Amino acid sequence: MLDNLPILSLLLFSPLVGILALLFVPKQNGKLIKWIAISSTFLPLILSILLLVQFNAHGEGMQFTENVRWLHIELSKYTPVLEGIKHFYYDFSYSLGVDGLSLPLVALTTFITAMAALSSVVIKKRWKTFYIMFLLLEIGMLGVFMARDLMLFFIFFEITLIPMFFLIGIWGNKERERAANQFLLYNGIGSALMFIAFMILISTAGFSFNEEKLSLFYSGSYDVIAANIANLDSFANAADILGGAFFLSDGLKALTFVLLLVAFGIKLPIFPFHTWMLKVHTEAPPSVVMIHSGILLKMGAYGLFRFGVYMFPEQTQSWAMALAILGVINIVYGAILALVQKELKLVLAYSSISHMGIVLLGIASLNIYGMQGAAYQLISHGLISALMFLIVGMMQERTGTTELDRLGGMAKTLPFISGVFLIAGMASLGLPATSGFVAEFLAFLGLFDKYPVIAIVGTLGIVLTAVYVLRAVLKITFGPTEPAVEGLRDARYIESAPMVALVALILLLGIYPAVLTDMLNNALHLIMRGIGG
Amino acid sequence: MPGNKLDFTSIHNAVSAGELTAGIATAIAILIFIGAVGKSGQFPLHTWLPDAMEGPTPISALIHAATMVAAGVYLVARTYDIFLVSEAALETVALIGGFTAIFAATIAVVQKDIKRILAYSTVSQLGYMMFAMGIGTWAAYSAGLFHLLTHAFFKALLFLGAGSVIHAVHEQNIFKMGGLGKTMKITTITFAIGTLALSGVAPLSGFWSKDAILAQAYEHQPLLFWVGLTAAFFTAFYMARLFFVVFAGKSQAKHAPHESPKVMTVPLLVLAVLAVIAGFVYFPGNEFLGHWLTGMEMEEHVNWVVIILSNLAALGGIGLGYFLYCKNRELPENLATRFRGLHTTLTNKYFIDEAYEAAAVKPLAGFGGVLQVFDRVIVEGAVKLSVGVMTGINRIGVRLQNGQTQTYGVISIVGIVVILLWFVGRRFLNVG
pLDDT in tens, chain B (432 residues): 345 778 888 888 888 887 778 888 888 889 999 989 988 888 888 888 777 777 677 777 677 666 788 888 888 888 888 888 888 888 889 889 989 988 888 888 888 888 888 888 888 988 989 988 888 888 888 888 888 888 888 888 888 888 888 888 877 777 777 777 778 888 888 888 888 888 888 788 888 888 888 888 888 888 888 888 888 888 988 888 888 888 887 777 666 677 778 887 888 888 888 888 877 777 776 777 777 777 777 666 677 777 888 888 888 888 887 777 777 777 777 777 777 778 788 777 788 888 888 888 888 888 888 888 888 888 888 888 888 888 888 888 887 777 788 888 888 899 999 998 888 877 776 665
φ and ψ at residue A89, rounded to 5 degrees: -125, 150
Report which secondary-structure segment, H or E, holds A277: helix A275-283
pLDDT in tens, chain A (533 residues): 456 788 899 899 999 999 999 999 888 888 888 888 999 999 999 999 999 988 888 887 888 888 888 888 887 655 555 666 677 788 888 999 999 899 999 999 999 999 999 888 887 888 888 999 999 999 999 999 999 999 999 999 999 999 999 999 898 888 888 889 888 888 988 999 999 999 888 888 887 777 777 777 888 888 888 888 887 766 666 555 555 556 777 788 889 999 999 999 998 889 888 888 888 898 889 999 999 999 999 999 999 999 989 889 888 999 999 999 999 999 999 999 998 888 899 999 999 999 999 999 999 999 989 999 999 999 999 999 999 999 998 888 888 888 888 888 888 888 899 999 999 999 999 899 999 999 999 999 999 888 999 999 998 888 899 999 999 998 888 888 878 777 788 878 888 889 999 999 999 999 999 989 988 988 898 888 877 64
Give the integer Cα–Cα distance in Å for A421 and A414. Answer: 10
> How many beta-carbon pairs under 8 angstroms link A with B?
32
Q: Which residues of chain B have a CB within 8 Å of the CB of A367?
A: 1
φ and ψ at residue B62, rounded to 5 degrees: -65, -45
Beta pairing partners, A215: A87, A210
Contact: A339, B365; criterion CB under 8 Å: yes
Nearest to A365 by CA among A426, A449, A434: A449
DSSP A482: P
Q: Which among B1, B367, B371 is the nearest to A369, CB-wise? A: B1
Q: Which residues of chain A have a CB within 8 Å of the CB of B365?
A: 339-340
Nearest to A152 by CA among A215, A47, A238, A69: A69
Residues sharing a CB contact under 8 Å with residue B45, sequence separation 6 or more, in sequence order: B34, B37, B38
Q: Which among A272, A336, A340 is the nearest to B379, CB-wise? A: A272
Q: Map A298-317 to HEC letters.
A: HHHHHHHHHHHHHHCHHHHH
∠ CA A502-A509-A445, nearest 5°, is 135
Q: Map A322-376 to HEC letters.
A: HHHHHHHHHHHHHHHHHHHCCEHHHHHHHHHHHHHHHHHHHHHCCCHHHHHHHHH
Amino acid at B100: T
Q: Which residues of chain A have a CB within 8 Å of the CB of B372?
A: 337, 340
Amino acid at A36: I
Contact: A340, B365; criterion CB under 8 Å: yes
Q: Which residues of chain B have a CB within 8 Å of the CB of A272?
A: 379, 382
The alpha carbons of chain A give a radius of gyration, in whole angstroms, of: 23
- Distance (Å) from the C-alpha of residue A157 to the closest C-alpha of chain B? 23
Give the model's pLDDT for residue B301: 66
Is residue A158 within 8 Å of A191, Cβ to Cβ? yes
- Cβ-based interface (< 8 Å): residues of B facing A: 1, 364-365, 367-369, 371-372, 375, 379-380, 382-383, 387
Q: Which residues of chain B have a CB within 8 Å of the CB of A276?
A: 383
- Report the chain B residue with the minimal C-alpha distance to residue A185: B387
Is residue A429 within 8 Å of A469, Cβ to Cβ? yes
Q: Which residues of chain A have a CB within 8 Å of the CB of B383?
A: 186, 275-276
Give the integer Cα–Cα distance in Å for A116 and A45. Answer: 12
Task: Give chain B's end-to-end CA distance (angstroms, integer).
Answer: 60
- Measure CA A320 to chain center: 21
- Distance (Å) from the C-alpha of residue A467 to the closest C-alpha of chain B? 10
- Report the chain A residue with the minimal C-alpha distance to residue B378: A272
- The SS3 of residue A2 is helix
Q: What is the signed CA dihedral for B3, B8, B9, B14, rounded to 10 degrees?
A: 60
Q: Which of A193, A281, A339 is the best residue to mutate to test the B interface, defined by the most B CB atoms within 10 Å of its own CB? A: A339
Is residue B131 within 8 Å of B232, Cβ to Cβ? no
Nearest to B411 by CA among B397, B424, B425: B397
Sequence-separated contacts (24+) of A337-342 with Cβ below 8 Å: A337/B368, A337/B371, A337/B372, A337/B375, A338/A464, A338/A465, A338/A468, A339/A464, A339/A467, A339/A468, A339/A471, A339/B364, A339/B365, A339/B368, A340/B365, A340/B368, A340/B369, A340/B371, A340/B372, A341/A404, A342/A403, A342/A404, A342/A405
Q: Which residues of chain B have a CB within 8 Å of the CB of A271?
A: 379
Contact: B379, A340; criterion CB under 8 Å: no
Q: Which residues of chain A have a CB within 8 Å of the CB of B364?
A: 336, 339
Contact: B1, A339; criterion CB under 8 Å: no
Q: Which residues of chain A have a CB within 8 Å of the CB of B380?
A: 275
Amino acid at B314: A
Amino acid at A148: R
Give the model's pLDDT for residue A236: 64
Give the model's pLDDT for residue B255: 66
Give the integer Cα–Cα distance in Å for A407 and A476. Answer: 5
Contact: A340, B383; criterion CB under 8 Å: no
Contact: B367, A449; criterion CB under 8 Å: no
Contact: A339, B364; criterion CB under 8 Å: yes
* Integer CA distances (angstroms), A285 to A280, A491, B256, in order: 9, 18, 61
Give the model's pLDDT for residue A228: 84
Give the integer Cα–Cα distance in Å for A137 and B210. Answer: 69
Task: Give chain A's end-to-end CA distance (angstroms, integer).
Answer: 39
Nearest to A209 by CA among A383, A331, A105, A86: A86
Supply the pTM of this predicted model.
Answer: 0.85
DSSP A430: T
Beta pairing partners, A74: A89
- Distance (Å) from the C-alpha of residue A220 to the closest C-alpha of chain B? 32
Pairing mode of beta strands A215-219, A207-210: antiparallel
φ and ψ at residue A67, rounded to 5 degrees: -145, 115
The alpha carbons of chain B give a radius of gyration, in whole angstroms, of: 34
Is residue B96 within 8 Å of B43, Cβ to Cβ? yes
DSSP secondary structure of A173-204:
-TTHHHHHHHHHHHHHHHHHHHHHHHHHHHHH
- Distance (Å) from the C-alpha of residue A333 to the closest C-alpha of chain B? 8
Give the integer Cα–Cα distance in Å for B200 and B105. Answer: 14
Q: Which residues of chain A have a CB within 8 Å of the CB of B379?
A: 271-272, 274-275
φ and ψ at residue A87, rounded to 5 degrees: -130, 155
Contact: A336, B368; criterion CB under 8 Å: yes
- Report the chain A residue with the minimal C-alpha distance to residue B365: A340
Nearest to A302 by CA among A200, A234, A371: A371
Nearest to A526 by CA among A299, A330, A371: A371
Across B220-229, b (16+ Cβ under 10 Å) vs e yields bbeebbbbbb
Give the integer Cα–Cα distance in Å for B153 and A35. Answer: 61
Q: Which of B379, B386, B387, B391 is the best residue to mutate to test the A interface, defined by the most A CB atoms within 10 Å of its own CB? A: B379
Counting Cα atoms < 13 Å in the Cβ hemisphere of A378 gives 34
- Report the chain B residue with the minimal C-alpha distance to residue A277: B380
Q: Map chain B to HEC letters.
A: CCCCCCCHHHHHHHHHCCCCCHHHHHHHHHHHHHHHHHHCCCCCCCCHHHHHCCCCHHHHHHHHHHCCCHHHHHHHHHCHHHHHHCHHHHHHHHHHHHHHHHHHHHHHHHCCEHHHHHHHHHHHHHHHHHHHHHHCCHHHHHHHHHHHHHHHHHHHHHHHHHHHHHHHHCCCEHHHCCCHHHHCHHHHHHHHHHHHHHHCCCCCHHHHHHHHHHHHHHHHCHHHHHHHHHHHHHHHHHHHHHHHHHHCCCCCCCCCCCCCCHHHHHHHHHHHHHHHHHHHHCECCECHHHHHHHCCCCCCCCCHHHHHHHHHHHHHHHHHHHHHHHHCCCHHHHHHHHCHHHHHHHHCHHHHHHHHHHHHHHHHHHHHHHHHHHHHHHHHHHHHHHHHHHHHHHHHHHHHCCCCHHHHHHHHHHHHHHHHHHHHHHHHHCCC
Residue B109: Cβ within 10 Å count: 19
Give the integer Cα–Cα distance in Å for B225 and A454. Answer: 42
Q: Which of A175, A189, A193, A275 is the best residue to mutate to test the B interface, defined by the most B CB atoms within 10 Å of its own CB? A: A275
Q: Which of B371, B389, B391 is the best residue to mutate to test the A interface, defined by the most A CB atoms within 10 Å of its own CB? A: B371
B80 burial class (0-12, 13-18, 19+ CB within 10 angstroms)?
A: buried
* Integer CA distances (angstroms), B49 to B41, B45, B77, B96, in order: 6, 9, 21, 16
